[in-house]
Structure 1
């Protein structure tokens, strides 16, 4: 891009129509424009940006004002607002190997409270309505706004670019737009558009749309089923955790005597029943003791008495029988017939006599207590009663012993029951844990229902999808053909992505070298920076010194930071091939004399094929003018009238004869 001519008509401080010839020649790339502060140097820079970018222009004098307000206030105060102001910029660029000349004319005038603007673009001398109507998009192809900030700048902006974050934005915008990386991305976008243009017939597309819809819904259902399953796993885990927690609390509750605490009322009732049973048993034993039972203590004596009574009874009966038997035996002998031998008679008499003697001896007693004859029968009845009472007493004693044991056991259990205050925390914790288990179980049941519902939906959608696929198999053949186009386009996009990454790395590498060499060329301290790196992801600058230690840009002096920013811009211009004009406003404000000489000798003549240098008399002074003069194609001085507050453009520069006369 080569700027030919800039025309200002009643713009800012420039009254009337002012022209600047900006054409340069080989080895004379500089157009030097001198002006004191407030004379309109920055206005020239604003004019170039305004005519190109309109409301998007980054004009220094606009501030926060609206574009309409800025246009109205940019009309020269001595001019008629109804006639307005005008800016024209003529430049040439090479398009598809052909040099083409553009002239952009932006005019505006005040109508009522608003400014009406008009834009007209001529190409090779002829008005082009299409380009005029779409100039905002067209100018981005010629000189993107982000890139323009790299070539249209003032001294203050140069220092701002030394900030790592600002520098990162500048480098990224430059690499993307200026060095062709964005073109690769645009090609990837075009391939994506090609992919999207691959379409089937309406009928087939309808089938595929249906299938795609079913597939998408099936995927959603599958994802939902997966999510629900994960939710189920989570709530199941929570449920298991809640159960484990409850079981632990139950064990703690058990060890602390919680079961006994819960059974306390039952234990107390059991003890009361045991006490009542023991009392009943003891009462029954006392009842037995009030009867014949104590006679068991003299059972042996009662047995002896019973035996004595039997003997006395037998002796009494024997005494009665003996007298009767003697008469009976005599009668019996007399009744024997005479035929009975004497020996038999004698033997019988002996036998009967012996029997009587035996009975008589039985009737004889050592002691005769003269006991009643009924005593034996009564003692026998008493013995039966005592046996029954003894059996009952044994049963009652065994029951009492068992009851006493049960009572002792109940006392021990009740003694083991913990105090309510001691176990209250465990009771509350167990209650809460039980509630948590109930809630978790409900959550598991609900999650299980959701999983089953999602599985059912997914299975139904899969079945519908399979039926649709079976019905339209031919459509898939056509889709596969189109898909191949899409696939190869995607492969091409992937290749372009790799190419773009490689191109980015190549440009970054070249840019690192160019910026480092530019900085080392401009720096007075040649050994300050040994290496410079640019991050390919964040586009940040990293400096290192000769000891391989990092250098914080904030530690550089104001002049060094300004030179670093200029080096960044110079390096970008070198890598881009210096194909764009460079406009520099007040470039030497914070530099010492040595750095100024370096810029004049090394940078300005080599900054690009066309350099517009806007300077004050203190920046490019008589000494520096002599050093810069061999590289100057045109020089202008901005003459300001302090009475009318207007500026006109005169040829020459301070310390030249024509310029001194004009001033």
Structure 2
């Protein structure tokens, strides 16, 4: 990625809007000239500040907020402006790379400074970031800050790389070198793999097969407890059902017999008393009959005989009397026939014949009334006979009717007695109050027992639920343990694979580092010998692949430290190292170098201008004073210059225009 433009708005001496077009075509050098103090270094620091913010490490003792407060243009701040921003735009080297615009803006407040970072890709602002730190990390992934010091640097300060001090052996330069050589990417991968392994080990559960067996034993014990509780629960429920049936029977008995039987018993007892009273009345009737009519009953045959005898005697007497009257009438008729009143008088013969004939006729008409002889026993007068017959008729009639009533009375007496006995038997069958109380007491006992059973059922059910939940938990635990063992085994497999990859990476890194170190050694030696005027000074540079400490051998194969180099040689060494690292990394990044020739003599300047800048990168931006790249020095690189700018100092304001010191605008 190459720089397309840089924009400053109220940043330091760059008041208002200032833009530098950095696009190139064909040639690779952009020359920006500036007197000392006019804002040349601000371009370099502005690029670093826009890219990395507080991570650019531009402060020198003051806080970042104090540094930012000093960055706003003084004149603009005096007029009330409290904002400034810097924009750095990169253009892609090919169609797959998009243009990237990085804008960092600051707002100065009384107690603090507000910083806002935005990143735009081909005109579209990227929104996937959570905060500015996330955005800065995005930039770091493109151009790590450790890499930037090899592409954006101050030529007068870069010689620190050649100093034999603590910094040289520190992790900072070593890490930066690893960054630019892409070694840190692999180191980061190794660290990530190691962190992955640590995290995986932390996520591994310390599970053993004995833990599963322990849980399985608990499951079995819990199952036995559940079986016991279920049996107890079934027994309790069965007992409850049986008691419920018995209670329903008792309730039915109380409903049908028990509770109503008390009233029914009273009714039956009342009926028995009534029947007994009726039976007593019937008994009285019987006793009255015995006292009064029984003699007649006993004498009934005799009375009947007397009646019959009296009837016979009466009939006999009547017949006898009637016969006598008939004879008397017959004789009266005969006398009338024998009298003289019949004219002509009858002859004696006629009278005899007539008497015979009449006697025959009379005999036919008046049959004999008395057919048998009756012994006259009582021989009562008609009036006595009438009285006695009346008495006998009454007695006979009474006895006849009374006998029927007596039979009915006896039948009623028997029936009443039978009803009394039946009622008594029914009464015996009816429950007594004691029986009812006993049943009710039994019912209460059953209810208490059922309540106790229900409590026990509830307790059993709760215990059963608890044990089932416990078993379920244990089963889940067993499943989880099995899964955890499975996961642990899978994790261990991943850890093992990660360890293999990490070990392979470490071997690869070691070989890559040695290879890269060797490449840098050759490139560094080549460029240093091109740039230095003492071609006998260094035979070759040697780089420790572990620490990246750099030493050199002279022509006598003596290993010497870098401090044996002069100040100019140290700058040449540092520039050569930067070039070697850039070439070895094959990163297509621009180089921005401030004051590259300030401390160099004529030979070193010539070598740097002819052998370094034209080949350092596809885009080289040189920030130079009028005493560095001017006149004959400029002529050495004029064929590689794509654009030239001149920074002019107008007091508290700096302006940028095309052109160069005392030259026409290009």
* TM-score, normalised with respect to structure 2: 0.55
Alpha-carbon separation, structure 2, partners of 1:3 and 1:209: 63
Give the greater-gyration-radius structure (CA): 2
Q: SS at the partner of 2:74?
A: coil
Alpha-carbon separation, structure 2, partners of 1:124 and 1:583: 24
| Residue 598 of structure 1, aligned match among 575, 597, 607 | 607
Displacement of 1:159 after TM fit?
2.0
Instruction: Give the corresponding residue for 1:657.
Output: 664
Contact map agreement 1:105 1:121 (CA 8 A) in 2: yes
Report matched runs for 1:221-370 at 5 Å: none
> How many residues of Structure 1 are paired with residues of Structure 2 in the alignment?
395
Q: SS at the partner of 2:7?
A: strand
Instruction: Give the corresponding residue for 1:33.
Output: 32
The answer to whether the aligner puts 1:183 opposite 2:150 as a matched pair is no
The answer to whether the aligner puts 1:528 opposite 2:528 as a matched pair is no
Change (3 A) 1:195 1:624: same
- RMSD over aligned CA atoms reads 3.0
Displacement of 1:155 after TM fit?
2.3
Displacement of 1:87 after TM fit?
0.6
Alpha-carbon separation, structure 2, partners of 1:600 and 1:557: 20
Contact map agreement 2:528 2:572 (CA 8 A) in 1: yes
Report matched runs for 1:591-630 at 5 Å: 591-630=600-639
Instruction: Give the corresponding residue for 2:476.
Output: none
Report matched runs for 1:32-431 at 5 Å: 32-59=31-58, 62-80=59-77, 81-93=80-92, 98-131=96-129, 133=132, 134-165=134-165, 166-169=167-170, 172-192=174-194, 195=197, 205=205, 207-208=207-208
Change (3 A) 1:480 1:604: same
Alpha-carbon separation, structure 2, partners of 1:107 and 1:70: 14
Change (3 A) 1:196 1:159: closer
Instruction: Give the corresponding residue for 2:298.
Output: none
Change (3 A) 1:68 1:481: closer
Displacement of 1:70 after TM fit?
1.4
Change (3 A) 1:197 1:31: same
Alpha-carbon separation, structure 1, partners of 2:608 and 2:484: 69
| Residue 504 of structure 2, aligned match among 480, 484, 495 | 495
Displacement of 1:209 after TM fit?
12
1:119-150 CA-partner distances (Å, limit 9, x unpaired): 11111110112346411211111111111111
Contact map agreement 1:175 1:504 (CA 8 A) in 2: no
Alpha-carbon separation, structure 2, partners of 1:113 and 1:193: 40
Change (3 A) 1:574 1:168: farther
Change (3 A) 1:210 1:549: farther
Displacement of 1:489 after TM fit?
2.0
1:56-78 CA-partner distances (Å, limit 9, x unpaired): 1132xx32111111111111111
Change (3 A) 1:476 1:51: closer
Q: SS at the partner of 1:130?
A: coil
Contact map agreement 1:164 1:540 (CA 8 A) in 2: no
Contact map agreement 1:638 1:650 (CA 8 A) in 2: yes
Change (3 A) 1:171 1:93: farther
1:520-545 CA-partner distances (Å, limit 9, x unpaired): 11011112100110011221111111
Change (3 A) 1:474 1:590: closer
**Structure 1 unpaired stretches of 5+:** 212-471
Alpha-carbon separation, structure 2, partners of 1:563 and 1:141: 29
Displacement of 1:163 after TM fit?
0.6
1:604-623 CA-partner distances (Å, limit 9, x unpaired): 11111111100011111111
Q: SS at the partner of 2:622?
A: strand
Contact map agreement 1:159 1:562 (CA 8 A) in 2: yes
Alpha-carbon separation, structure 1, partners of 2:612 and 2:551: 23
The answer to whether the aligner puts 1:569 opposite 2:569 as a matched pair is no
Contact map agreement 2:164 2:561 (CA 8 A) in 1: no
Contact map agreement 2:205 2:485 (CA 8 A) in 1: no
The answer to whether the aligner puts 1:12 opposite 2:19 as a matched pair is no
Instruction: Give the corresponding residue for 2:652.
Output: 645
Alpha-carbon separation, structure 1, partners of 2:647 and 2:510: 47
1:582-608 CA-partner distances (Å, limit 9, x unpaired): 111111111111111111111111111
Alpha-carbon separation, structure 2, partners of 1:536 and 1:139: 28
Change (3 A) 1:194 1:544: closer
Change (3 A) 1:529 1:196: closer
Contact map agreement 1:168 1:541 (CA 8 A) in 2: no
Displacement of 1:32 after TM fit?
0.6
